[in-house]
Structure 1
Amino acid sequence: MDTITYAKMFAYSQFLVKLPYPTSDFTGQTIIVTGANTGLGLEAARHFIRLNATKVIVAVRTVSKGEAAVVEIVRTTQADPSRLEVWPLDLSSYDSIKAFAQRAQGLDRLDAMVQNAGILTQHWKVEEGMESHITVNVISPILLGLLLLPKLRESGKAYDKVGHLSFVGSDLQYLAKFQEKCTDGSLLEALNDKDKTDMGDRYNVSKLLLLYAVRSIARLSPVTLDSPVIINCLTPGACTSDIFRDEPGWSQKILMGIAMKIVARTTEAGSRTLVHAASPVVGVETHGKFLMDCKVYPSGPNVESDEGKVLEESFWKELVQRLEDIRLGVCKDLF
């Protein structure tokens, strides 16, 4: 998508769209929200509690921060603290993800999972053998989603409900230059070449790759009686969260702060998109789709072009192999 087209779409979304306030009833449901100690995740968890979810699992890297978030949610909603649980989850560690998924198998039910946790940084860092954006924003949430998909299916069938597996992407995927892209070699290897990486574009690329993976999983796991789970990807738009905390230098932080003051939504407003994507009113029309402003939006040229389709297929094949190397059999239910 060219910059002018994106700018027009972005301006319309940020300044003219009023996101609907969540009113869906989540009575009886158990919901997991990753990265729920601050920002969008915290506000989404607060909404789920307000909307009668029986249990909300606050999945966080630092338990003490999750506990502080629970105190804040209870203070503002007057909810019974027993409705909230804090579970440790570190998306930079595959062992942590596998342990979290194993623990989730013991839940009585799991109705929705909102994969909100992610990073944005200008600093090159390797986690689990890959550049950190690719690990934390792509491989880890997909790994966790696949590990919990059987539980979502099981609960959906047991309680005659459609479950939801929602991933927080970004409309910045429209602008991804993706200079590392290749169709005749390893994409993961190209993405792991520090000398050829544009860190200013890496977050955008990671969210594009996440969308590739979400679309692929949804295609291989259609919504049926045996798999009553809607899988989608959403953007909350530009919000006043702390995702830019790793921006280098005070001048950049100040400039970004000023820009966000002008255009950004509050985290509460942005969190409405997370709640909407996982709500009972959202139907199969969102399965495998990209949501913006609580509506299905085109996935954009990076996805829908002939080149995008080839890259999506190539990346998915390579990602499946990487996921199987991490956890043998994690993709078996998709084939």
Structure 2
Amino acid sequence: MGGDAGSLSFLRFICNQLFGRLPVPTTSFEGKTVIVTGSNVGLGLEASRHIVRLGAAKLIMACRSTGKGEAAARSVEESTGCAPGTIEVWPMDLSSYDSVKAFAARVTQELDRVDVLLANAAVAMMQWEWTEDNETNITVNVVSTILLALLVLPKMKDTATRYNTRPTLTFVSSETHAMVDFPDAGASEGIFQSLNDRSKADMATRYPTSKLVLNFAVREMTSRRPREAYPVTINYINPGLCQSELSRHAGLEVTIPKMLLGRTTEQGARTLVAGACGGPETHGQYMDMCVVAEPGTMLTRPGAEETQTRVWDELMVKLDEVEPGVFGNL
């Protein structure tokens, strides 16, 4: 695949998967309002269960299917014994910009506070599909995810001011971002235009590439808003290879390693909760095994800052067409 996929990186991956110990979350969410996207299955569902168990006052489960979301909510309620009304299921489909905007508008209008936005929802499409104005992995995993974050951040900043607290915005990434090269970075026609050229697309590496692009965007967000001058902690985390629904569209090259090495969804969810509990020291940082770690060298090597800025600038042009002036929300 390229990137950092050398023998040492692969050995570290195997050791983390087989022998790594992830702490069970214990940090209290008492009094907090938490939003988890993609929360009806897999990591999002188990992270929701941990968050409610740890005392969240309100959990918004953002799901594409409200029917599945309601079933998931009942499962969390039954396993945690939480108070009635703690959990609400709200529809949101990241493949639709209008759906993202409607969800964010509801957040602004109906919620008194937002202490955590756990941006977990993603797809891993192995076949070319087109959604909105991009290939589907790019629309869902990058454009809509950043759009949602920018639309909800004003409520999170207001929460910080009104309640003297520091909310957390956590993006769920993937260690696979370190295992790919990024030839689109230097495309003369533009990064997103290059990614949206079907004739050049390598769909076998598209999911990790989408996470790499997301990471560039997150790093640029936080470079423009350093922790000392910003009231919200923004971080991005790696859950590792887990037994989840994400790889349902993938082939045997993903299914077999998952069977042999995959963490349980509950174990993987611990990494999401660790990000959601992250303090100011995690702002702008990549987290692996529930602690701050070094991301892939594609994000840090010479020339990476130029690529990072280019990703952000192009993304803001796209988002300004979807929601004019949304960059001002940062």
Q: Which residue of 1 aligns with 2:169?
A: 165
Give the residue type in structure 1 aligned to 2:27: S
Equivalent position of 1:126 in the other structure: 130
SS at match of 1:81: coil
Distance in 2 separating the partners of 1:93 and 1:2: 34
Query: Is 2:226 the partner of 1:230?
Result: no
- Partner residue, 2:286: 290
**TM-superposed deviation, 1:324:** 1.0
Tell me which residue corresponds to 1:199: 203
**1:276 corresponding residue in structure 2:** 274
Instruction: State the distance in 2 between where 1:333 and 1:98 align.
Output: 14
Shift of residue 34, structure 1, vs aligned partner:
0.1
Asked if residue 144 in structure 1 is aligned to residue 124 in structure 2, the reply is: no
Displacement of 1:184:
3.5
| 2: CA distance, partners of 1:182 / 1:230 | 31
Contact 2:47 2:269 in 1 (8 A): yes
Q: CA, structure 1 residues 259+300, in 2 after alignment: closer, same or farther (shift >3 Å)? A: closer
1:309 counterpart residue number: 305
Tell me if the contact between 1:183 and 1:310 (Cα under 8 Å) persists in the aligned partners: no
Once the two structures are TM-superposed, the CA of residue 19 in structure 1 deviates from its matched residue by 0.4
User: What TM-score does the superposition give when structure 1 sets the normalisation length?
Assistant: 0.94
Superposition deviation, residue 3 in structure 1: 2.4
Corresponding residue for 2:105?
Answer: 102
Note the C-alpha offset of 1:40.
0.1
Larger CA deviation: 47-56 vs 289-298: 289-298
Aligned residue type for 2:92: L
> Normalising to structure 2: TM-score of the pair?
0.96
Bigger CA drift: 69-78 or 91-100?
A: 69-78
Q: How many residues align?
A: 326
Cα deviation code 1:52-108 (max 9, x no counterpart): 000000000000000000111111111123100000000000000000000001211
Aligned to 1:264: 262
- Which amino acid in structure 2 is aligned with residue 240 of structure 1? Q
The Cα shift of 1:308 comes to 2.2
- Which 4+ runs in 1 deviate beyond 6 A? none
Query: Take 2:19 and 2:316, find their aligned partners in 1: how far apart are those partners?
Result: 40
Aligned residue for 1:120, secondary structure, equals: coil
SS at match of 1:118: coil
Partners in 2 of 1:37 and 1:129 — Cα distance? 26
Indicate conservation of the 8 Å contact 2:153/2:329, yes or no: no
Asked if 1:25 is matched to 2:23, the reply is no
In 1, Cα distance between equivalents of 2:10 and 2:179: 10
Q: Deviations over 1:186-239 (max 9, x none)?
A: 1111000011010001001000000001111111222356x3100011010000
Match of 1:322 in 2: 318
Pairwise CA distance, 1:5: 2.6
Corresponding residue SS for 1:82: coil
Matched residues in 2 for 1:148 and 1:188: separation? 24
Q: Percent identity among equivalent residues?
A: 40
Contact 1:177 1:201 in 2 (8 A): no
Q: Say whether 1:13 aligns with 2:16.
A: yes
1: distance between equivalents of 2:165 and 2:85? Answer: 24
* Mapped contact 1:180–1:196 kept (Cα < 8 A): no
- Letter matched to residue 122 of structure 2: G
Structure 2 unmatched ranges of 5 or more: none
Mapped to 2, the partners of 1:278 and 1:247 lie a distance apart of: 28
Please say if residues 151 and 329 of structure 2, whose CA atoms lie closer than 8 Å, have aligned partners that are also in contact.
Answer: no
Deviation larger for 201-210 or 214-223: 214-223
Question: Are 1:118 and 1:136, in contact at CA under 8 Å, matched by a contact in 2?
Answer: yes
Task: Report matched runs for 1:240-259 at 5 Å.
Answer: 240-247=243-250, 252=252, 256-259=254-257
Higher mean C-alpha displacement, 171-180 vs 30-39: 171-180
Out of 81-90 and 71-80, give the one that drifted further. 71-80
Question: 5+ unaligned residues in a row in structure 1: which ranges?
Answer: none
Cα root mean square deviation, aligned: 1.3
Give the letter aligned to residue 86 of structure 1: V
Contact 1:70–1:81 at 8 Å: present in 2 too? Answer: no
82-91 vs 293-302, greater mean Cα deviation: 293-302
Q: Deviations over 1:245-285 (max 9, x none)?
A: 1125xxx3xx6444212211100000011111111xx2222
What is the one-letter code of the residue matched to 1:260?
K
Tell me the distance in 2 between the aligned counterparts of 1:5 and 1:132: 32
* Counterpart Cα distance in 1 of 2:84 and 2:70: 10
